[in-house]
Structure 1
Amino acid sequence: MHGYLLSDLMIILLLSVGVILLFNRIKLPSIIGYLVTGMVAGPYALGLVQAPVKVNHLAELGVMLLMFIIGLEFSLHSLSRIKRAVFLGGALQVGLTMAAVYVLARGMGSPPATALFWGFLIALSSTAIVLKLLQDQSQVESVHGQVILAILIFQDLIVVPMMLLVPLLSGQIIGSPWLTLGIMLAKMLGVLALVVLGAKYLMPRLLLVIARTRSQEVFLLTIIGTCLGVAWLTAEAGLSMALGAFLAGLIISESEYSYEAVSNVLPFREVFASFFFVSIGMLFDVHVLLEHPVQILLLTLGVMSLKILLTPAAAAFLRVPVRAVLLAGLALCQVGEFSFVLSLAGLKAGLISQDSYQLFLAISILTMCLTPVVMLVAEPVVSRMMRLPLPQVLEQHLHPEPTRSELTTSLGEHVLNDHLVVIGYGLNGRNLVRAAKQMHIPYIIIDTDADTVHRQLKRGEPILYGDATHPHVLEHVRIQRARVVVIAISDPAGSLRVVAAVRRLNPNACVMVRSLYLHERKELYQLGATEVIAEEMETSIEILARVLARYLVPLHEIDVLIRQLRGGNLVRSRSLTDAEWSGMHVGLAGHELATVPVPDHATLVGKTLSESEMRQQYGVNLLAIRRNGHMLADMCPDTVIHSHDTLYVFGKPDRVERLAHELQPEPELA
């Protein structure tokens, strides 16, 4: 059996790669590719898989990880910003769809429980497909994109109570259904109490200890262990393991480590979720589609038409433009991936028959396949519809185009734009953030030091715990909209990966990197860095400038030499200023060349050089005078000394010190 499983996995993976490559060429989502892979490899087609039960076990793990990710990405804080759009728009969309499907199913002779269950299945839409298409079209931050996102969030949350209601609807409960429901609610409250305690007290402290180890392996094991542990706990309580996985994600989501957790789990989620969709495809009997093509096509069009009509009716209550409402209806016209999870539960519980299940699979897969086409033509179709009289009247009188602030209030939209992303909060990062704060430049920080993140969050800094090489972490700080990204970490290999990840998400941002050594610059530039500041080079430049200044090399010659060292590209000159150069004291064989400032009311102010008798009285030689930033070209005995002049003198250190002391103004007598 183990050999069969290994060969099955190899067949699924290789076939998936080929199918998904083909689907990418024709611009179809990978989820549809996985479904088609399962259909081809399953027992109803080529029969390539010999141990489908084992594959289904991997698929169940994929469902758990899907729910775990939803829990991780679900934040009570972020939800509060768009709660009106989520709970009003989402509840209306799901409620209206369930009601319409229930009425239609009852009219076709289905029992009440089965009719309600059909409403569950049809009400959900595909989060994975819709969000992927919106991201590809850069429409997630648009008004209709935010409406769609809010409704999808509600659908993902409502899956949990739907799954809990399946045993109740199926009539498998022994005894009073109300008593059973009460016991189930009591169990849920008990589990939720543990979740609240864990999220508030246990998990933040545990993850802080784990994060301090800087070990990715220990962090990942802790995250996966939490997921499996809470899932096992809910299973022992008689609840769903998928519910447990969601609650486990919820426990971690309230800590500052949730984004790093998502980044670590995402690759596993993608792998196991692919097995889930493949397993669904294997369960689909292709012969059903071939035997009833007209019936399935009509039902598919009916389902899509119903959702296209009902979703705008729900979204209209959000006070957004009619155009956004219509686009949302077209985008959410398909059946979702979690409907597959519910359908399997309903099949096992006897709510739907095997024939109905096959019919549902055919309809669902077709709606998913048609979604990219619908969203592709959505913009021109809606543009034409907006020219009709009714949409124009609605747009002008019922839902006028909102201002930016109104959208923020309605949808809770909070978008970083044209901001600075600082990766690494060491000395460089802190200085940069301090300057950005003073100049009122919007910024956000990413760091992997748990203690630093913990302290800065308490101080109100916009800082995120996470590894910037993970796209999920970068997407959370809106890297696509950033103007400047500064990478200031002491990890050469990590800097390379971060530059590559940033460039994939934002080809236009200015990416500045701090490197340790000069030889690291070439590869960083090849990966897309805009500017690389090598500490090795900058330190050598500063030392060179100050050494040459000690030997009285003119500043313009120092700049020429620095330009030559930089290969003709003076990216940044020496930090030694003219004033600092003027203040240099250079020792030469028991004497020194020094600068002595002349303050107001000094004893020499107003005297000529001959009157000052500097050599006779102080034992120093006056070499030059700097006045108003310029050296006096010609000096003679009649040259008058002014206040704020700088005297360049040469002599023994004690004589120079005596001159500087006596140049101080005499105190006024009371």
Structure 2
Amino acid sequence: MLFFFQLLIILLSTKIAGDLCVMLGQPAVLGKLIVGIVIGPAVLGWVQNSDMLQAFSQIGVLLLMFIAGLETDVQELNRNRNSSVSVAVGGIIFPLIGGYAGGQLMGLGQAESLFLGLLFSATSVSISVQTLKDLGQLKSRESVTILGAAIVDDILVVILLAFLMSFFVGGGDVSLGLLIGKKVLFFALILVLGWKVVPWIMKRFAPLRVSETVTSAALIICFGFSYLAESLQIAGIIGAFAAGIAIAQTNFKKEVEHKLEPIAYAVFVPVFFVSIGVSVTFNGIMEQLPLIAGLTIMAVLTKIIGCGLGARVTGFSWNSSIRIGAGMISRGEVALIIAAIGLEMNLLPQDFFTSVVIVVILTTLITPPLLKKLFGERKELASNKGETMSV
């Protein structure tokens, strides 16, 4: 019963907050993130974290990335593969160095400092995807590069995490070769499944004499790919994104997109946005404000500089490079998962755990207005250019 009341509060507050943000010239997603903090334990306490909330949240982020896959131009993604790799590498090296330096200044040991750097190397583009979708920029070259870079980033960070743990935790119970093999196996499987199995499933489900067979088939593929990704130690959102791309190559793309978006954005996606704010707590925050401010500045700048330089060396203009760097700032749920692993493995001290979580959430809150400013300026320039040409 309590969850139904919380769901009521979430849906009502996210729609109102999103509309207010749009009125103020900001992406709707920013209001949804902020309202999660307001109605969560940090302020009003109307919504508490729970297993049910997390389950709805997980479905929401999977559907969000699945829809992003549906709207992704595969040819454009392939054309920008070198840029995506370059952006991902730059977006790992700079935060890794910055996080390590921050750990040393905080008095952490070598292992803890390296872990902190690795944590801030992670990227979660689910918030960026929603913001770019709100701005009508999801199919731009910069957005496609951001999505590609996020996939590479996820793989490299997990491999580096395993490498770090094999040295400092349990003395080698993590097989690096096995981990890399799982990544290769995952991409080999999704290529085969996306090419042969997905079209077959969609065609076989379409004529069944029950309701919404195409939509059900799409969800089966989405959750199946996500499960496959998680079982091979890759983020489930990567599997969902790959499933969206696979279905986008079939004749059922428009129908799936038309039927699935209302399901996702009516219930599950709003819960995902709120769940981020619900994890915020302000207990003991005043004593660590300088630390939180310093780590936040480091987290933002290292992604903009690292990813921006990675984009620049592969031919993007400085303006586009900065946009790509901004799109990679959000650490989101990926960094939160890594932080939890670090706490469990004693690679992240308990005293700093809350501060790190707050920094991760701040990077998520910073991303939408920053992307709005950067991409909004480009749209305005394009509009002015169009007016000039028409004159």
Partner of 2:313 in structure 1? 317
Encode CA deviations 1:543-593: one digit per residue, 9 max, x unaligned.
xxxxxxxxxxxxxxxxxxxxxxxxxxxxxxxxxxxxxxxxxxxxxxxxxxx
Conserved? CA contact 1:90–1:152, under 8 Å: no
Partner of 2:201 in structure 1? 206
1:335 Cα shift? 2.6
Partner amino acid, structure 2, of 1:4: L
Encode CA deviations 1:504-532: one digit per residue, 9 max, x unaligned.
xxxxxxxxxxxxxxxxxxxxxxxxxxxxx
Conserved? CA contact 2:97–2:117, under 8 Å: yes
Q: C-alpha distance in 1, partners of 2:219/2:135?
A: 33
Partner of 1:261 in structure 2? 256
Q: C-alpha distance in 2, partners of 1:379/1:194?
A: 36
Call closer, same or farther: CA 1:189–1:360 in 2, change over 3 Å: same
Encode CA deviations 1:377-429: one digit per residue, 9 max, x unaligned.
669999xxxxxxxxxxxxxxxxxxxxxxxxxxxxxxxxxxxxxxxxxxxxxxx
Partner of 2:145 in structure 1? 150
Conserved? CA contact 1:35–1:365, under 8 Å: no
Q: C-alpha distance in 2, partners of 1:26/1:101?
A: 34
Question: Are positions 1:274 and 2:267 aligned together?
Answer: no
Q: C-alpha distance in 2, partners of 1:266/1:120?
A: 34
1:183 Cα shift? 3.5
1:206 Cα shift? 2.6
Encode CA deviations 1:37-73: one digit per residue, 9 max, x unaligned.
3322333433223562321222222333344445555
Conserved? CA contact 2:201–2:217, under 8 Å: no
Partner of 1:52 in structure 2? 50
Partner of 2:219 in structure 1? 224
Encode CA deviations 1:50-102: one digit per residue, 9 max, x unaligned.
56232122222233334444555566543222223222344333333334433
Call closer, same or farther: CA 1:182–1:139 in 2, change over 3 Å: closer
Call closer, same or farther: CA 1:332–1:285 in 2, change over 3 Å: same
Call closer, same or farther: CA 1:282–1:76 in 2, change over 3 Å: same
Call closer, same or farther: CA 1:110–1:243 in 2, change over 3 Å: farther
Conserved? CA contact 1:230–1:244, under 8 Å: yes
Conserved? CA contact 2:56–2:268, under 8 Å: yes
1:280 Cα shift? 2.1
1:218 Cα shift? 0.1
TM-score normalized with structure 1 length: 0.47
Question: Bigger shift: 369-378 or 352-361?
Answer: 369-378
Counting only pairs closer than 5 Å after superposition, residues 189-204 of structure 1 correspond to structure 2 as: 189-204=184-199
Call closer, same or farther: CA 1:149–1:356 in 2, change over 3 Å: farther
Q: C-alpha distance in 2, partners of 1:4/1:363?
A: 30
Equivalent of 2:282, from 274, 283, 286?
286
Partner of 1:485 in structure 2? none
RMSD: 4.1
Partner of 1:61 in structure 2? 59
User: Unpaired runs of 5+ in structure 2?
Assistant: 379-391
Question: Are positions 1:304 and 2:300 aligned together?
Answer: yes
Q: C-alpha distance in 1, partners of 2:234/2:302?
A: 33
Conserved? CA contact 1:29–1:129, under 8 Å: no
Partner of 2:2 in structure 1? 4
Partner amino acid, structure 1, of 2:63: L
Call closer, same or farther: CA 1:293–1:277 in 2, change over 3 Å: same
Q: C-alpha distance in 1, partners of 2:147/2:234?
A: 24
Q: C-alpha distance in 1, partners of 2:34/2:132?
A: 23
Call closer, same or farther: CA 1:204–1:113 in 2, change over 3 Å: farther
1:279 Cα shift? 1.8
Conserved? CA contact 2:30–2:369, under 8 Å: no
Call closer, same or farther: CA 1:336–1:240 in 2, change over 3 Å: closer
Call closer, same or farther: CA 1:354–1:60 in 2, change over 3 Å: farther
Call closer, same or farther: CA 1:286–1:309 in 2, change over 3 Å: same
Partner of 1:43 in structure 2? 41
1:216 Cα shift? 6.9
Conserved? CA contact 1:93–1:315, under 8 Å: no
Q: C-alpha distance in 2, partners of 1:218/1:199?
A: 19
Partner amino acid, structure 2, of 1:265: L
Question: Bigger shift: 131-140 or 197-206?
Answer: 131-140
Q: Which has the higher helix share?
A: 2
SS in 1 for 2:120: helix
Call closer, same or farther: CA 1:152–1:100 in 2, change over 3 Å: farther
1:114 Cα shift? 4.1
Q: C-alpha distance in 2, partners of 1:262/1:195?
A: 20
Larger radius of gyration: 1
Partner of 1:524 in structure 2? none
Encode CA deviations 1:226-285: one digit per residue, 9 max, x unaligned.
223344455566776555545544553554444543444334443323222322211111
Q: C-alpha distance in 1, partners of 2:77/2:329?
A: 24
1:176 Cα shift? 3.8
Partner of 1:356 in structure 2? 352
Partner amino acid, structure 2, of 1:195: I
Partner of 2:89 in structure 1? 91
User: Unpaired runs of 5+ in structure 1?
Assistant: 383-670
1:223 Cα shift? 1.1
Call closer, same or farther: CA 1:12–1:139 in 2, change over 3 Å: closer
Partner amino acid, structure 2, of 1:29: P
Call closer, same or farther: CA 1:55–1:231 in 2, change over 3 Å: same
Counting only pairs closer than 5 Å after superposition, residues 431-446 of structure 1 correspond to structure 2 as: none
Tell me: higher relative CO, structure 1 or 2? Use CA pairs within 8 A at least 6 residues apart: 2
Conserved? CA contact 2:123–2:150, under 8 Å: yes
Conserved? CA contact 1:166–1:345, under 8 Å: no
Q: C-alpha distance in 2, partners of 1:63/1:380?
A: 25
Q: C-alpha distance in 2, partners of 1:223/1:341?
A: 28
Q: C-alpha distance in 1, partners of 2:99/2:194?
A: 38
